[in-house]
Amino acid sequence: MTVIDTTTGGTTPNSKMRWVLGRWPTVLGVAIALLSVMHLTRGAEVAFVLTASGLVYLGAAALGKRSYAWPMFIGAFVLITISKFAVVDVDPSLPMLVAAAGFIVIGVVRGAINRGFTAQTLAMVAIGAATLVALNVNPNLDGYLIAGGLFAHAGWDVYHHRREIVVSRSLAEFCFVLDTLVAIEILIVIWSGSG
């Protein structure tokens, strides 16, 4: 949306800045996507993006608060960063899958067995299965699996953004941008013969 300055008949720098600041989740999604795909050679290298997407939604549903989505993302981001610099070569998806199992237990213990929690649990099971398969198959198939999962999760993001459920709208917007851009980059890598 562009704000028209009625005194000059054009847009003002302040109106453009307000628009950009209002779209901070999109800007952040673009930035994180760019960081995630640097030096990408195959889809499994960014399986953690798909796993983190599911984990954030599951964690917020298990704890029953949309406002917990951003702290969940920060936790996943820290876990990914630690895994990337760990002495032992462990894909960041694996500890996140363990955390997801923990959130399922927490949700059950809390009595959060409702439609939202159940849907997030089923989504996380599908994401976990896709991730585990992608980490153990040939480079092209792993890319298609992860890209397909990210595109599916981008649709999930739109649904949750419009309904304003499970996670905050800002997180859903951010996640949509991140998922979509990373999925597109995976396909570019595969189709260019790099993957």
pLDDT digits over 152-193, tens only?
A: 999 999 999 999 999 999 999 999 999 999 999 999 999 998
Q: Say what the pLDDT of residue 121 is.
A: 98
Whether pLDDT at 55 is above 70:
yes
Nearest-angstrom CA–CA distance, 124 and 102: 12
Q: Of all residues in the chain, what percent carry a pLDDT higher than 70?
A: 92
**Residue positions counted in the chain:** 195
- The residue whose two tokens read 């820290």 is 78
Residue 141 placed within a domain: yes
Residue 17 placed within a domain: no
For 25-41, write each residue's pLDDT tens digit. 999 999 999 999 998 99
Average pLDDT value for residue range 136-152: 92
3-state secondary structure of 11: coil
Query: How far lies 66's CA from each of 116, 131, 158, in Å?
Result: 11, 25, 15
Nearest-angstrom CA–CA distance, 155 and 4: 32
> How many structural domains is the chain composed of?
1
Residue 2 placed within a domain: no
Angle between helices 69-85 and 169-191 (to 10 degrees): 40
Residue 9 placed within a domain: no
Residue 173 placed within a domain: yes
Of the candidates 103, 124, 117, 1, which has an alpha carbon nearest to the alpha carbon of residue 51? 124
**Residues paired with 5 in a beta bridge:** 10
Residue 10 placed within a domain: no
Residue 18 placed within a domain: no
Q: Say what the pLDDT of residue 46 is.
A: 95
Q: Say what the pLDDT of residue 112 is.
A: 83
Q: Which domain, by its residues, includes 42?
A: 27-191
Is residue 93 within 8 A of residue 47, CB to CB? The reply is: yes
Residue 11 placed within a domain: no
